[in-house]
Structure 1
Amino acid sequence: MKYLKLAIFSIGSLFLLVTCIGLLFPSRVTVIRSASFNQPIDSVYPMLHDLSNWHYWLFDSTHPGKLLTTSSIGPGASIQVGSSKITITHDSAYYIESTWHGSKSNDQICGWRLSQDPNTPGTMLRWHYTQHLDWYPWERVGAVLNEKILGPSMDSSMARLKRHFEQQRE
């Protein structure tokens, strides 16, 4: 009985300690990537705001996208990619925002901002993912890995988009 009380007290103390440490981590995590394209904004914008073009560049294109709405453009347009449902929530003036709803995690807000690149005649693309986290310690501590998981996928997608434009020029 003495060892059982010690085990329960130890597990409870460890859980409380991990929870307190987890609360020190931010409740919102954002991963950001940027890239320049030697294309005018009007060429890059349709690749992002039209869901039917995402298969050309999106990192998870191993799963075919299934359009869930009649329109593939504008707020309300929705697509299923793998286990994620992606819905465009905002689309105006070269800024597109979407909500990514996965089956096992909190929703993520994803946004793309296009602007004229000041150094070239091309386009600057800024892509961000933002995830709001619950108080659970495993979510807070695990969110540190978001950069390691999403970053390479985002880099790969931007590289695919650059290759797509290069192939169009050939």
Structure 2
Amino acid sequence: MRFIKLLLLSGLVFGILIFLTSLLFPSKAIVERSGVIDAPLSVVYGQINDLKTWPSWNPWAAPDVAQKINYTGPATGKGAGYTWSGTQHDKPVTGTVMIRESNPAKGVYCDLTFSSMKPMTAAFELKPSADGKGTAIQWRLETELGLLPWWKLRGFLADKLTGPQLESGLTQLRTICEKK
């Protein structure tokens, strides 16, 4: 009986220590990648502002992830959105994308939800490149994690988990825009 009490007390102390340690981690996860696309700002903006072009470059809108997409609202710009569903690793996944703000001089800002994930915001910030011949782009994802240790740990790993997908998406976007 004494061993069980000691085991339970040790488990409780360990849980409290993990929670207190997690308070040292940031409550927001930010993953960002940037680059330069050798295409006019209007071409890059057109690809990002039109959600129907996303499956050709965005890794989370690709046909192998989002097998079914239903578009809502206007075709482009503020209020445009879609819901998607698919299967990953034999599990059903769903999500939504909604353009919250769209400005040709600044970029496109979206609200995202994915099943079993915290809501995210995405920002595609655009400006002319330093030489004036191309477009500088920064793709940023932000997630509010809250206080729970497992979400904070996931946020701590977000750059390693999500960063390569952002890089892949930017590379594909660059290829598409530079061909136009």
Same fold, TM-score > 0.5, yes or no:
yes
- SS of residue paired to 2:157: helix
Deviation, structure 1 residue 94: 3.0
Instruction: Determine which structure has the larger helix proportion and give its number.
Output: 1
Deviates more, 1:91-100 or 1:65-74: 65-74
Q: Residue 145 of structure 2 aligns with which residue?
A: 133
Q: How many residues align?
A: 168
Is contact 2:30–2:141 with CA below 8 Å preserved after alignment?
Answer: yes
Whole-Å Cα distance in 2 between the matches of residues 64 and 41 of structure 1? 30
Q: What amino acid sits opposite 1:44 in the alignment?
A: V
**Pairing 1:1-170 to 2, within 5 Å after superposition:** 1-60=1-60, 61=62, 62=64, 63-64=66-67, 66-82=69-85, 83-92=94-103, 93-166=105-178, 168=179
Q: Mark the runs of 5 or more structure 1 residues left unpaired by the alignment.
A: none
Deviation, structure 1 residue 146: 0.5
Q: What amino acid sits opposite 2:127 in the alignment?
A: S
Q: What amino acid sits opposite 1:69 in the alignment?
A: T
Q: What amino acid sits opposite 1:12 in the alignment?
A: L
- SS of residue paired to 2:146: coil
Change (3 A) 1:165 1:17: same
Q: Mark the runs of 5 or more structure 2 residues left unpaired by the alignment.
A: 86-93
Q: What amino acid sits opposite 2:80 in the alignment?
A: A
Q: CA RMSD in A?
A: 1.5
Q: What amino acid sits opposite 1:84 in the alignment?
A: G
Whole-Å Cα distance in 2 between the matches of residues 118 and 66 of structure 1? 37
- SS of residue paired to 1:36: strand
Percent of aligned positions that are identical = 24
Whole-Å Cα distance in 2 between the matches of residues 6 and 52 of structure 1? 59
Instruction: Determine which structure has the larger strand proportion and give its number.
Output: 2
